[in-house]
Structure 1
Amino acid sequence: MNFAAVPRSAPAFKPLALACALSLSAVAAQALAQDSLPSVFITGARFPATAVQAPIGATVITAEQIRSAGATDVNQAIRKIGGVFGRQSLDASPDFALDLRGFGSNSAQNLVIMVDGVRLNENELANASLSSIPVDTVERIEITRGGSSVLYGEGATGGVIHIITGRAGKAGKPGTRGSVFLEAGRFDQHDLRASLAHGAGPWSFDAAVADRGSDGFRDNSEYKQKTASAGVQYAYAPNARAGVRVESARSDSQFPGSLTEAQFLADPRQTRTPRDFGTLDTDRVSAFVEQRVGAFDLAAELSHRRRDLTANYFFQGAGGETLSRLAYEAKQTQFSPRLRHAMELGDKRNELVAGIDLIRWDRATTSDFSLGDARQDSKAIYVRDELRWNAPHNARLALGARHEKFDKDYADPLAFPPVVDESRSQSLNAWSLEGSIDVLPQVTLFAKAGRSYRVANVDENSLRSGPELIEPQTSRDLELGLTAGDAARQATARLFRHRLRNEIFYDPTIGWGANTNLDPTRRQGVEVEGHATFARSWRVTGQWQYVQAEFTDGPNAGRDMVLVPKHVLTARLAWAPGNGHSADIGAQWVDRQRNGGDFDNSCSTRIPSFTTIDARYARRIGPWEIAASALNLADRQYYSNAFGCRSGIYPSDGRQLKLSLRYDF
Structure 2
Amino acid sequence: MINRLSAVALAVAAALAAPAHAADVQPEVVVSASRFDDADSKAPVSLTRISRDDIVRSGASLPDVLGMAAGVDVRPMSGALGIDTVVDLRGFGESAGSNTLILVDGQRLNPVDMSGIDWSAIPLHNVERVEVMRGTGGVLFGDRSVGGVINIITDKSGAPRASAGLTLGSYGYRRVDVSAAGSADATYFNIFANYADVNGWRKNTQGDQRAVSGRVGHILGDEREVFVDVAAYGDSNGLPGSIKRADYDADASRARSLTDHQKREGYRLRPGVRYAITDTLMLEGEITYNTSRQNAVYGATPYIANRDTTAFTPRLQWRHGLAGLASTTVAGLDVFHGKVDNVALDQAGSQLSRAFYVQNTTSLRSDLHLTLGGRRQIVRQHAEDRANGIDGEATHARNAFEAGLAWDLDRSTRLFTRWGQVFRFANTDELFGYDPLTYAPVFTGGNVRPQHGTNLEVGARYKADGLMVQGAIYRLSLTDEIGYNPITYANENFDRTRREGLELEARWRALRNLELNAGLITQNAKFVDGPYSGNTVTLVPNLKYRVGAVFDAATAGRYGATWTHVGKRRFGGDFDNTKEMLDGYGILDLHADWKVRDVTLQLRLANATNQKYAPYALYSSFAGDYYFYPAEGRTLFGSVRYDFR
Give the TM-score of the pair, scaled to structure 2: 0.94
Match of 1:212 in 2: 196
Report if aligned partners of 1:32, 1:485 keep a CA contact under 8 Å in 2. Answer: no
Quote the Cα distance in structure 1 between the aligned partners of 2:593 and 2:414.
37
Match of 1:486 in 2: 464
Indicate yes or no: 2:610 matched with 1:635. yes
Indicate yes or no: 2:418 matched with 1:448. yes
Indicate the SS of the match to 1:152: coil
The change in CA–CA distance for 1:439 and 1:201 in structure 2 (over 3 A counts) is same
How far has the Cα of 1:302 moved from its partner?
0.7
* Amino acid corresponding to residue 87 of structure 1 in structure 2: R
Match of 1:514 in 2: 490
Match of 1:396 in 2: 369
Quote the Cα distance in structure 1 between the aligned partners of 2:382 and 2:69.
40
Any unmatched runs of 5+ in structure 2?
A: 436-441
Match of 2:134 in 1: 145
Quote the Cα distance in structure 2 between the aligned partners of 1:532 and 1:581.
20
Indicate yes or no: 2:631 matched with 1:658. no
1:326 to 303, 316, 320: 303
Quote the Cα distance in structure 1 between the aligned partners of 2:62 and 2:416.
29
Percent sequence identity over aligned pairs: 26
Give the TM-score of the pair, scaled to structure 1: 0.91
2:94 to 90, 105, 108: 105
Quote the Cα distance in structure 1 between the aligned partners of 2:365 and 2:218.
35
Indicate the SS of the match to 1:284: strand
Report if aligned partners of 2:205, 2:237 keep a CA contact under 8 Å in 1. Answer: yes
- 1:560-607, Cα deviation, whole Å (9 max, x unpaired): 11110011101221122433511121111000000111101111x211
Match of 2:123 in 1: 134
1:368-447 alignment to 2 at 5 Å? Answer: 370-389=345-364, 391=366, 394-415=367-388, 418-419=389-390, 421-439=391-409, 442-447=412-417
Match of 2:290 in 1: 305
- 1:420-479, Cα deviation, whole Å (9 max, x unpaired): x21111111111111111235533210110111001111112236775421110011111
- 1:187-229, Cα deviation, whole Å (9 max, x unpaired): 0011111011112332111111111011111001101111111
1:50-449 alignment to 2 at 5 Å? Answer: 50-53=39-42, 56-71=45-60, 73-80=61-68, 84-89=72-77, 93-95=81-83, 96-167=85-156, 170-171=157-158, 173=159, 176-294=160-278, 295-314=280-299, 323-344=300-321, 348-367=325-344, 370-389=345-364, 391=366, 394-415=367-388, 418-419=389-390, 421-439=391-409, 442-449=412-419
How far has the Cα of 1:230 moved from its partner?
2.2
Match of 2:474 in 1: 496
Indicate the SS of the match to 1:48: coil
Quote the Cα distance in structure 1 between the aligned partners of 2:336 and 2:291.
13
Quote the Cα distance in structure 2 between the aligned partners of 1:549 and 1:78.
21
Indicate yes or no: 2:36 matched with 1:36. no
- 1:234-264, Cα deviation, whole Å (9 max, x unpaired): 1111120111011111211101111111110
Report if aligned partners of 2:71, 2:90 keep a CA contact under 8 Å in 1. Answer: no
* Amino acid corresponding to residue 59 of structure 1 in structure 2: T
* Amino acid corresponding to residue 298 of structure 1 in structure 2: L
1:441-590 alignment to 2 at 5 Å? Answer: 442-463=412-433, 468-469=444-445, 470-486=448-464, 488-510=466-488, 513-579=489-555, 581-590=557-566
How far has the Cα of 1:347 moved from its partner?
6.4
Report if aligned partners of 2:5, 2:473 keep a CA contact under 8 Å in 1. Answer: yes
The change in CA–CA distance for 1:289 and 1:353 in structure 2 (over 3 A counts) is same
Quote the Cα distance in structure 1 between the aligned partners of 2:80 and 2:413.
44
Indicate the SS of the match to 1:396: strand
Report if aligned partners of 1:542, 1:569 keep a CA contact under 8 Å in 2. Answer: yes
The change in CA–CA distance for 1:23 and 1:113 in structure 2 (over 3 A counts) is same
The change in CA–CA distance for 1:150 and 1:467 in structure 2 (over 3 A counts) is same
How far has the Cα of 1:33 moved from its partner?
2.2
Quote the Cα distance in structure 2 between the aligned partners of 1:506 and 1:57.
30
* Amino acid corresponding to residue 593 of structure 2 in structure 1: A
Quote the Cα distance in structure 2 between the aligned partners of 1:542 and 1:533.
12
How far has the Cα of 1:23 moved from its partner?
4.8
* Amino acid corresponding to residue 497 of structure 1 in structure 2: R
* Amino acid corresponding to residue 304 of structure 2 in structure 1: A
Report if aligned partners of 1:38, 1:487 keep a CA contact under 8 Å in 2. Answer: no
Quote the Cα distance in structure 2 between the aligned partners of 1:147 and 1:324.
40
Indicate the SS of the match to 1:187: helix
Report if aligned partners of 1:92, 1:253 keep a CA contact under 8 Å in 2. Answer: no
Quote the Cα distance in structure 2 between the aligned partners of 1:487 and 1:503.
44
The change in CA–CA distance for 1:612 and 1:584 in structure 2 (over 3 A counts) is same
Q: Which range moved further: 461-470 or 334-343?
A: 461-470
* Amino acid corresponding to residue 531 of structure 1 in structure 2: R
How far has the Cα of 1:344 moved from its partner?
3.9
The change in CA–CA distance for 1:25 and 1:581 in structure 2 (over 3 A counts) is farther
Quote the Cα distance in structure 2 between the aligned partners of 1:79 and 1:607.
20
How far has the Cα of 1:83 moved from its partner?
6.0
Indicate the SS of the match to 1:216: coil
The change in CA–CA distance for 1:464 and 1:334 in structure 2 (over 3 A counts) is farther
Indicate the SS of the match to 1:131: helix
Indicate the SS of the match to 2:201: coil
How far has the Cα of 1:22 moved from its partner?
4.6
Report if aligned partners of 1:245, 1:287 keep a CA contact under 8 Å in 2. Answer: yes
* Amino acid corresponding to residue 605 of structure 2 in structure 1: A
2:35 to 46, 51, 56: 46
The change in CA–CA distance for 1:55 and 1:293 in structure 2 (over 3 A counts) is farther
Report if aligned partners of 1:302, 1:336 keep a CA contact under 8 Å in 2. Answer: yes
How far has the Cα of 1:346 moved from its partner?
7.5
2:569 to 593, 596, 608: 593
How far has the Cα of 1:309 moved from its partner?
0.8
Quote the Cα distance in structure 1 between the aligned partners of 2:113 and 2:613.
28
1:610 to 582, 585, 605: 585
* Amino acid corresponding to residue 112 of structure 1 in structure 2: L
How far has the Cα of 1:343 moved from its partner?
2.4
Tell me how many residue pairs correspond in the alignment.
629
Match of 1:649 in 2: 628
How far has the Cα of 1:57 moved from its partner?
2.4
Quote the Cα distance in structure 2 between the aligned partners of 1:534 and 1:347.
43
Any unmatched runs of 5+ in structure 1?
A: 1-10, 315-322
Quote the Cα distance in structure 1 between the aligned partners of 2:590 and 2:86.
22
Quote the Cα distance in structure 1 between the aligned partners of 2:256 and 2:505.
41
Quote the Cα distance in structure 2 between the aligned partners of 1:614 and 1:81.
15
Q: Which range moved further: 221-230 or 485-494?
A: 485-494
Quote the Cα distance in structure 1 between the aligned partners of 2:210 and 2:413.
46
Quote the Cα distance in structure 1 between the aligned partners of 2:78 and 2:594.
35
Report if aligned partners of 2:328, 2:361 keep a CA contact under 8 Å in 1. Answer: yes
Indicate the SS of the match to 1:123: coil
Quote the Cα distance in structure 1 between the aligned partners of 2:321 and 2:393.
48
Quote the Cα distance in structure 2 between the aligned partners of 1:396 and 1:505.
37
- 1:515-538, Cα deviation, whole Å (9 max, x unpaired): 110011111111111111121111
How far has the Cα of 1:339 moved from its partner?
0.4
Indicate the SS of the match to 2:139: helix
How far has the Cα of 1:345 moved from its partner?
5.1
Quote the Cα distance in structure 1 between the aligned partners of 2:465 and 2:231.
35
Q: Which range moved further: 82-91 or 553-562?
A: 82-91
Match of 1:319 in 2: none
